[in-house]
């Protein structure tokens, strides 16, 4: 009888644990869908800006784009907005925000509501005053295809073999900047490639040589200590690795 009661208790506890695990999984899936849908609704708020950029940015009409007007409209919705980022051949086409640290927008959407999907955000150490040597932009790797999920496509030959994909558009408050990709790779989580201060032990020249040597494809793109670069970063492989793209500024349209 004692063994039978013990067996019943064991079965009861196992069933209870399984129910708990199931309920936890269902709740997390529901939250995942809710956060993704919330961000999709956020993006709908500036769909007109996105369509305007898509239609004109790589055409002669791009000269008619007013970066001040674009950023002014976005700042009405979120005063942390600092840029618009468009990466050809991916789904990356978002306004970029910058918080007081690198934690806030990991768990907050464009409208500053709590959201585990986060948003596309710049490193808080960047100044956006024209002096940044390495401007860094982060985004979550979301399996619904949003945020920086498609950054991993830049590691594929099918992406880099299309030369149009190698030019990145970065619209700031007073300028439209163009960047050319010179390095893409995966690396274990580290702080080196997100260096912004080159006044210490890490020289900018050594930094550029290191990140260029990491690339899995030779883009045949020169980059020197006089250049400014853009770095895009997202997590991969269960957060152990980072997918990284580096591009050098080649043109600025006032």
Write down the residue that tokens 């990356």 correspond to: 92
Pick the closest to residue 241 from 222, 217, 220, 214 (CA basis): 214
pLDDT the model gives residue 24:
44
Pick the closest to residue 54 from 91, 15, 14 (CA basis): 91
Position 117 confidence tier, pLDDT thresholds 50, 70, 90: confident
Residues 6+ apart with CB under 8 A from 108: 99, 114, 115, 118, 119
Q: What is the mean pLDDT of residues 85-90?
A: 95
pLDDT the model gives residue 218:
96
- The tens digit of pLDDT for each residue in 36-69 reads 566 666 676 777 788 878 777 766 666 667 888 8
pLDDT the model gives residue 33:
52
pLDDT the model gives residue 54:
77
- The tens digit of pLDDT for each residue in 137-181 reads 999 987 777 789 999 999 999 999 999 999 999 999 889 999 999
pTM: predicted TM-score of the whole model, two decimal places = 0.84
Pick the closest to residue 116 from 35, 229, 38 (CA basis): 35
Position 251 confidence tier, pLDDT thresholds 50, 70, 90: confident
Q: Which helix (H) or strand (E) holds 205?
A: helix 204-213
CATH of 40-253, one of 1.10.10.10, 1.10.3720.10, 3.60.20.10, 2.40.260.10: 2.40.260.10
Pick the closest to residue 151 from 161, 163, 138, 132 (CA basis): 138
- The tens digit of pLDDT for each residue in 198-239 reads 998 899 999 999 999 999 999 999 999 999 999 999 998 777
């Amino acid at each position: 009888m004692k063994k039978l009661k013990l067996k019943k208790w064991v079965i009861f506890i196992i069933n209870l644990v399984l129910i708990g695990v199931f309920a936890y999984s269902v709740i997390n899936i529901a939250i995942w869908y809710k956060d993704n849908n919330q961000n999709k609704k956020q993006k709908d708020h500036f769909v007109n800006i996105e369509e305007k950029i898509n239609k004109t940015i790589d055409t002669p009409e791009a000269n008619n784009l007013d970066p001040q007007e674009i950023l002014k409209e976005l700042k009405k919705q979120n005063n942390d907005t600092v840029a618009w980022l468009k990466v050809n051949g991916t789904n990356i086409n978002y306004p970029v925000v910058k918080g007081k640290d690198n934690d806030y927008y990991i768990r907050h959407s464009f409208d500053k509501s709590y959201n585990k999907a986060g948003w596309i955000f710049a490193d808080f150490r960047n100044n956006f005053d024209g002096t940044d040597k390495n401007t860094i932009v982060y985004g979550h790797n979301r399996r619904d295809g949003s945020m920086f999920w498609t950054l991993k496509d830049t590691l594929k030959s099918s992406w880099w073999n299309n030369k149009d994909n190698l030019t990145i558009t970065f619209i700031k408050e007073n300028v439209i900047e163009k960047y050319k990709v010179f390095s893409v790779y995966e690396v274990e989580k580290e702080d080196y490639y997100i260096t912004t201060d080159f006044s210490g032990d890490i020289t900018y020249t050594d930094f550029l040589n290191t990140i260029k040597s990491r690339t899995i494809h030779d883009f045949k793109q020169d980059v020197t200590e006089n250049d400014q670069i853009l770095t895009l970063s997202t997590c991969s492989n269960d957060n152990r690795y980072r997918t990284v793209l580096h591009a050098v500024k080649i043109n600025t349209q006032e």
